[in-house]
Structure 1
Amino acid sequence: MPDGVGIKNYIYANVFNDLDKSVTLLHKFKTETLKDFEIDDQIKFQHLRNYKETFFEKYYREKIHLSRLKYNASLKSNSSILSNYMPKKNKLSHKLFYSIVEISTRKNISKNHIHWLEKRYEKLLRKSRVYKEYYHFFKKHESSKLFCTHQRAIIAAPIFAAAKDAGIETITAIYSWDNLPKARLALRADKYIVWSPYMKNELKAYYPEIKNHQIKVFGTPQFEFHYDKSLLWTREKLAAYYHLDMNKKWLCFSGDDKTTSPFDQHYLKDIAKILSENELVNQWQILLRPVPVEGFDKYQEVIDQYPHLIKKTGAAWKLSSEWSDAYPKKEDLSVLSSLCEHADAVINVGSTMALDFGMHQKPAIYINYEAKENSYWSIKRIYKFQHFRSMENIEPVVWLDSPEQIIEILNNLDNYKQRTKKDMELWCEKIIPFNLRLESSQLIENELNI
């Protein structure tokens, strides 16, 4: 479990509690953090070994990543896939390193060449200290299965290679709906857990070497809590928790990370300004839920300007300077579910929160105008990303094409809700079928028990 999101998706969903075998959780959390998880006493803990890539390990991994992005962009005729190549070049050494990677990846990319690169990478992994340590660990403990909650974790690559050579069955889950086009499948497993038949087809398209029988359509436990009525708060309790006005309607503004939407605070200010200049300010409050690991800092100036309109409804997360040690408290299951249930709509820049609200039959508004003209970032590029092609031929969300349009949308929200309701249901069903939203944790538990 390389990061805190796995706590929500697997620990809080009790995936490991009833297994017919002993469980050791390999993790990167601080010792004091583990006490907060309310984990079954039968689960043992072991801190993941430190893993520092060699120059050539990183070179081949990054070269594979860029090669697959180029291949995927050509395969899907979608150049926006290439924007997922975002190396950090904040040092001269980094600039030189990525220049080598980019120059060596200029020629036409073939699937055979990518497979050759991956074989070279696999050989290098087997020379690493981490590989050797975990190979002996698996042999010593006679482990039978290795499951990773996040297919993008770099440290999982040598560990999975060690497990394979030790004769252990390996399983991983695809973490998010947008991961596969991004070419960040850091490890190779015997089985891959995907959200839906749609995601299964994606995996087969990008990785045709993965056989049909290796792909398990089990959904993800990520959305199960929306259907657990015991977690749901009343509107009164939610209002008391965040000091909200019960007499007003609630518009949830869900934030994105600074890479996805660097001008989120500008969009929030636009909406707040329009509402404050209109009688709608007496009817609505904006409930601001930032992306959990970033908090309110970038929004604070706007919040201070409109304190009675914008209310902080932050995620109940334990934050840390290290992403891997940030995690949601169990209380956040109730917070998010109740927010989706009692807010009247959600607005954001292409966030999966649209799906969360859709599962509560609430409309989602996608912002679709430029925050700044002639900027390095464009809203138009966001909606060209491959995962939004899942919306082709349907209109599951309301599009906000200008700040002023928010007045008309909110004044006629019921009409927009009815207009998008059916397509939102179709979209949610495509991304993760209804039965898998309810049964995912049980299906995964059954697979791990085999």
Structure 2
Amino acid sequence: MSSKKILILLPDGVGLRNFAFSNFVEIGEQLGWEVIFWNQTPFYLSSLGLKEIKLQVKPRPFTDLIKRAKINSELSHFENKWNDSVYSSYKFSPSSSGIKARLKNTIVSILESRSKNENGLKQLRNRLKKSERSSKFYDHCKVVLKREKPDIVFCTSQRPVTAIAPLTAAQDLNIPTASFIFSWDNLSKATLVVEADHYFVWSKYMMDELVKYYPYINTKNIHITGTPQFEAHYNASLLISKEVFFEQHNLDLQKKYICFSGDDITTSPDDPQYLEDLAKAVQTLNAEGLHLGIIFRRCPVDFSGRYQAVIDTYPEIIKEISPLWEKQGDSWNTILPTKADVALQVNTVQYSSALINLGSTMVFDAVTHNKSCFYINYDVENKKVEDWSTENIYKYVHFRSMPSSNSVIWINSKNEIANKIASLLNNDDEDVIRNAKTWFNVINESPADKASERIWKCLEKIKTNN
């Protein structure tokens, strides 16, 4: 029996790809750890041969209201502290339909009004824990922890309110806790919902962000590891031959393909129009003698039919390769990735000449294959949402990490698409790829394929020091 035990808390499905569908568990087991997933997702990890304990109890509804107040209060605090209006753009207008929703909004507003400074924010953080300590969820977590006696509880994402009770219960039992910061844009959006003893971040850049936004966190408890998110791109065993991939997805071996990776409807409400603009540009280039096509990979949580009319209009140009995600509920966080989709994404990027999207992290997936990424940077004529604009998207804080504006190929109007694709096909993107790699090294620790190993190394140190 192993002398080291870790509970990997999966409060939602976002950590599946990084920690369950990778070689993360295998590395830990080779180091002598017993790895058990504390799994709150609908997905059964036992089907993959992984150890799991299902966690199906829910937090108190009032805790979620405190979380909402905390996020809004922090964003207001960030805006005032740095005189930067971008933070207010991260706030979402809650539904006010019905008496229940209006009552919730009133409670959130009252909580916010009492949290105008650092002391008020501290009180909100404490209230989150206090609220969960009075829940059956917390009591259940304590029972599990006392029975399992893990050396550490490692949470795969800092965002979900469902992670508060398990981590608080562990801390109250003097079990070390750690949380992975899930995405490159999370900290500026005030999504540090859980309080852990240790934090795992992608890079020095992200560590500086964590200290900037949460100065009470000791830098000794912040560990720079990188993210397992991109490791699959370095796994040659996931690649299949070009001939097999093209046959599987009804692609033409005589064509080169540009991958249009879609965004969710909130981030890019005009995505179907951008796809059509790209299709028209490809149509023009093909009329000039080129042989091009489009691979369309939609946002994995977008099961809408909003693209269908465009796909039907350009069947010879657009080939949809849908992400292999499974919808297991009505909300976005119950749409879960699958292990098969990891290989599908790797091969899609490998056999595309370039990627195009609006401000996605897919720029970094592309550069792991030495491919460039186009960033869409114009508004369509008849916008679906009047006050939405690409200008607002690229003002977001995480884009300030870009060391050079020439890290992507900017498409500033639909009329530029054809010429910029033609230029890329003439290998005029070497500087872009080089700059994108520099950007990747800013936001993610290098070498990018060793993130899991670095995480385990830090976990080993935490156990030893404890």
TM-score by length of 1: 0.92
**CA-to-partner distance for each residue in 1:232-261, whole Å, 9 max, x for gaps?**
222222211211111111100001111111
Matched, 1:376 2:382: no
Q: Is the 8 A contact 1:249 1:285 kept in 2?
A: yes
Matched, 1:304 2:312: yes
Matched, 1:442 2:448: no
| Aligned partner (choices 67, 76, 81) of residue 70 of structure 1 | 76
Deviation at 1:394, TM superposition (A): 4.0
Q: 1:116 to 1:34 in 2, by over 3 A?
A: closer
Partner of 2:363: 354
Partner of 1:127: 134
Partner of 1:53: 60
Deviation at 1:68, TM superposition (A): 0.6
Cα distance in 2, alignment partners of residues 171 and 216 from structure 1: 10
Q: 1:358 to 1:78 in 2, by over 3 A?
A: farther
Partner of 1:22: 34
Partner of 2:108: 101
Deviation at 1:35, TM superposition (A): 5.1
Partner of 2:3: none
**46-55 or 201-210, which deviates more:** 46-55
Matches within 5 A, 1:179-258: 179-258=186-265
Partner of 2:87: 81
Cα distance in 1, alignment partners of residues 442 and 107 from structure 2: 40
Identity over aligned pairs, percent? 33
| Aligned partner (choices 34, 39, 61) of residue 49 of structure 2 | 39
CA RMSD of aligned residues (A): 2.2
| Aligned partner (choices 107, 111, 126) of residue 118 of structure 2 | 111
Q: 1:173 to 1:408 in 2, by over 3 A?
A: same
Q: 1:430 to 1:237 in 2, by over 3 A?
A: same
Q: 1:193 to 1:275 in 2, by over 3 A?
A: same
AA of the residue aligned to 1:299? Y
Deviation at 1:390, TM superposition (A): 0.6
Deviation at 1:29, TM superposition (A): 3.5
Cα distance in 2, alignment partners of residues 68 and 229 from structure 1: 43
Q: Is the 8 A contact 2:59 2:161 kept in 1?
A: no
Deviation at 1:104, TM superposition (A): 5.5
Q: 1:26 to 1:35 in 2, by over 3 A?
A: closer
- Dislocated runs of 4+, deviation >6 Å: none
**235-244 or 319-328, which deviates more:** 319-328
| Aligned partner (choices 362, 365, 372) of residue 374 of structure 2 | 365
Q: Is the 8 A contact 1:15 1:444 kept in 2?
A: no
Deviation at 1:91, TM superposition (A): 2.5
Deviation at 1:364, TM superposition (A): 0.6
Matches within 5 A, 1:392-431: 392-413=403-424, 414-431=426-443
**CA-to-partner distance for each residue in 1:308-334, whole Å, 9 max, x for gaps?**
110011222233335444333323222
Deviation at 1:48, TM superposition (A): 1.2
Q: Is the 8 A contact 1:244 1:311 kept in 2?
A: yes
TM-score by length of 2: 0.89
Unaligned runs of 5+ in 2: 1-9
Number of aligned residue pairs: give it. Answer: 443
Cα distance in 2, alignment partners of residues 242 and 281 from structure 1: 24
AA of the residue aligned to 1:408? N
Deviation at 1:20, TM superposition (A): 2.5
Q: Is the 8 A contact 2:349 2:365 kept in 1?
A: yes
| Aligned partner (choices 8, 13, 26) of residue 4 of structure 1 | 13
Question: What SS does the aligned partner of 1:399 have?
Answer: strand
**CA-to-partner distance for each residue in 1:394-445, whole Å, 9 max, x for gaps?**
420011111110011011114541231221111011011331x121111223
| Aligned partner (choices 136, 144, 154) of residue 147 of structure 1 | 154
Deviation at 1:123, TM superposition (A): 1.9
Cα distance in 1, alignment partners of residues 13 and 288 from structure 2: 39
AA of the residue aligned to 2:408? V
Question: What SS does the aligned partner of 1:105 have?
Answer: helix
AA of the residue aligned to 1:428? F
**CA-to-partner distance for each residue in 1:194-230, whole Å, 9 max, x for gaps?**
0011111111101111101110101111111111111
